[in-house]
Chains A and B, each alone.
Chain A
Amino acid sequence: MTAQTATRPMLDGYNYAYLDEQTKRMIRRTMLKAIAIPGYQVPFGSREMPIPYGWGTGGMQLTASLIGDSDVFKCIDQGADDTTNAVSIRAFFAKVAGVTTTEDTEAATIIQSRHRKPEHPLREGQIMVYQVPQPDPLRRFEARETETRAMHAYSEYALPYLGLYEGYARLGRASSAAGHPVLTNERYVMTPSPIPSFDNPKLHNSPELQLFGAGREKRIYAVPPYTSVVSLHLEDKPFETQRWGAGCELCGSTDSYLDEVIIDDKGGRMFVCSDTHYCAIRRAERERAGVAPAEGQIP
């Protein structure tokens, strides 16, 4: 198999997109199996990457196995394109694959993310790559792999509901603010990665391909386009999504996930969109429309 050519200059002495072609092939095979069995965790031969385990090696391996010279790559961390890890990983792929990178959600073909899904809905043909620390939603309760495999195989899913019970008992709400377990394709219980439960509904019946990579735990799983993804809930405790009192203090959005940002050392804080690109687009639109900037300081 020939290495792909880069559109831009790439690092000398490395194979295209860092991984060797056989590894990419193995990973793509794993992906196909994962896509064929939505929500099922497929083991794979996870490779050493130039960042430590726990920092997104799974997501990077997925991206590396998919990326080609016609791709446009976006990377976000906690919704932002400009945080350290997002910047590093984006720069990495620019270096080893010579690909075009972007912050524009609509323009990207591959979006790798830690802890969020972009606000803007994705379309057919795009690929969403999630970084996953712990791929098994049952691991929190059951340490034995032999047991969790049997539970998944026989649909013995009391444990994720036990997690919900614990949340309500101890906190008065389903505590899983991030990584709220979902039932995928009406068969496998899956963790949507540590995205806020606010983002869970975005996974359901979505046009793009969603891939999940856990490098340290050596598992890949997938949600094919237009697949049912339903958040688990107890019958008398319906799934609730987070709400904030007011909207984003920069763009006024009341539909997006807000981050709490500390702005001074006196406890001052403001709530702003976690999805930086989304917020920027909205601010630009409001300016064009002549709407006054939303209350609050521009940091």
Chain B
Amino acid sequence: MIGDKILLEARGVTVRYGKTVACDGVSLDLRAGEVLGIVGESGSGKTSLLTSLSGRLRPASGEVLFDVRGQGLADVYALSEPDRRRVRREEWGFVHQNPRDGLRLRISAGGNIVEPLLMCGERRYEPMRGTAIQWLERVELDPARIDQRPSQFSGGMQQRVQIARALAHRPRLVFMDEPTGGLDVSVQARLLDMLRGLVRELDLAVMVVTHDLAVARLLADRLMVMKNGRVVETGLTDQVLDDPQDAYTQLLVSAAM
């Protein structure tokens, strides 16, 4: 169920790298239980937007507001550094395209999953380990592999561990950057199916960036199409994909194989 309360809001976010404008005045909002897909080709600015909205890149102008627990809608970049880190740690999750960017490869799979719990203050071994086992089952991995290192896993399995790690502390908002990019097609399908189920079961708010329209159709309730740093179209996923209004969107949709 999509809640009424806005969890995350971007107001006129502009992201620059030196003189290059990556995103230009992007505004959006996200509620609990919604999946927002941001689609576009490489260079569209979607990844920069995600990086900025997830608190890791201060926008050149505009605001990123998040419903901070105990505080209400607050400007993420006006928070102190420790507060912003706390929000990212306790209230958000992040799934990177490359699982190696989101995992500690020399720590066991179980260790990777308990770390967010530790970061939220858990200090008891048995409950943590129990939670890690549950999560391995949830992401369809054999719990017997809990003490193995992700370096011994396939890419798809590493991604599952990363997803478990991103969700273990029950964040309210999850950012995903091409969560199935780089995986082969059959693995992608299984992962997406698992993600869909988790999103529904946990009532997550998700912002997912992808260039793959099939992924967007499967995961997202709403879509935003970006081109050259700007939002060219936005609406319900099936609206944008089945009845694209903008010239670029029409091109994008017709080009999908």
A interface with B by C-beta (< 8 Å)? 141, 150, 153-154, 156, 158-159, 161-162, 164-166, 168-170, 234-237
Checking A141, A154, A156, A165 against B128 with a beta-carbon cut-off of 8 angstroms, the contacting residue is: A165
Checking A150, A162, A236 against B124 with a beta-carbon cut-off of 8 angstroms, the contacting residue is: A236
Find out whether the CB atom of B111 lies under 8 angstroms from the CB atom of A165: yes
B interface with A by C-beta (< 8 Å)? 81-82, 85, 89, 104, 106-108, 110-111, 114-115, 118-119, 123-126, 128-129, 146-147
Find out whether the CB atom of A150 lies under 8 angstroms from the CB atom of B85: yes
Find out whether the CB atom of A156 lies under 8 angstroms from the CB atom of B119: yes
Bound complex: CA of A158 vs CA of B112, how far in Å?
A: 11
Bound complex: CA of A154 vs CA of B108, how far in Å?
A: 26
A-B residue pairs in contact (CB < 8 Å), sample of 17: A141-B104, A141-B107, A153-B82, A154-B82, A156-B85, A156-B119, A158-B115, A161-B123, A162-B107, A165-B110, A165-B129, A169-B108, A169-B110, A170-B108, A235-B124, A236-B126, A237-B125
CB-based nearest A residue for B115: A162
Least CB distance, B148 to chain A, in whole angstroms: 10
In the bound complex, residues from chain B placing their C-beta under 8 Å from that of A161 are: 118, 123
Find out whether the CB atom of B111 lies under 8 angstroms from the CB atom of A168: no
In the bound complex, residues from chain B placing their C-beta under 8 Å from that of A170 are: 108, 147
Residue from the set B82, B107, B108 with the largest chain A CB neighbour count within 10 Å: B107
Least CB distance, A192 to chain B, in whole angstroms: 20
Bound complex: CA of A110 vs CA of B9, how far in Å?
A: 61
Find out whether the CB atom of A166 lies under 8 angstroms from the CB atom of B108: yes
Least CB distance, B141 to chain A, in whole angstroms: 16
Bound complex: CA of A36 vs CA of B147, how far in Å?
A: 41
Residue from the set A168, A234, A237 with the largest chain B CB neighbour count within 10 Å: A234
Bound complex: CA of A164 vs CA of B110, how far in Å?
A: 13
In the bound complex, residues from chain B placing their C-beta under 8 Å from that of A169 are: 108, 110-111, 129, 146-147
The verdict on A165 contacting B85 (CB below 8 Å), with A141-B104, A141-B107, A158-B115 known, is no
Known: A156-B119, A165-B118, A166-B108. 8 other contacts (CB 8 A): A150-B85, A154-B85, A165-B110, A165-B114, A234-B125, A235-B124, A236-B126, A237-B125
Bound complex: CA of A154 vs CA of B80, how far in Å?
A: 11
Bound complex: CA of A236 vs CA of B126, how far in Å?
A: 7
In the bound complex, residues from chain A placing their C-beta under 8 Å from that of B128 are: 165
CB-based nearest A residue for B118: A158
CB-based nearest A residue for B106: A141
Find out whether the CB atom of A165 lies under 8 angstroms from the CB atom of B147: no
Bound complex: CA of A237 vs CA of B124, how far in Å?
A: 8
Find out whether the CB atom of B107 lies under 8 angstroms from the CB atom of A166: yes
In the bound complex, residues from chain B placing their C-beta under 8 Å from that of A158 are: 115, 118-119
Least CB distance, B84 to chain A, in whole angstroms: 11
Least CB distance, B183 to chain A, in whole angstroms: 26
In the bound complex, residues from chain B placing their C-beta under 8 Å from that of A236 are: 124-126
Checking A141, A154, A156, A235 against B123 with a beta-carbon cut-off of 8 angstroms, the contacting residue is: A235
The verdict on A168 contacting B125 (CB below 8 Å), with A141-B107, A162-B114 known, is yes
Bound complex: CA of A38 vs CA of B147, how far in Å?
A: 35
Bound complex: CA of A158 vs CA of B107, how far in Å?
A: 13
Least CB distance, B210 to chain A, in whole angstroms: 28
In the bound complex, residues from chain B placing their C-beta under 8 Å from that of A162 are: 107, 111, 114-115, 118
In the bound complex, residues from chain B placing their C-beta under 8 Å from that of A237 are: 125
CB-based nearest A residue for B119: A158
Bound complex: CA of A6 vs CA of B185, how far in Å?
A: 77
In the bound complex, residues from chain A placing their C-beta under 8 Å from that of B85 are: 150, 154, 156
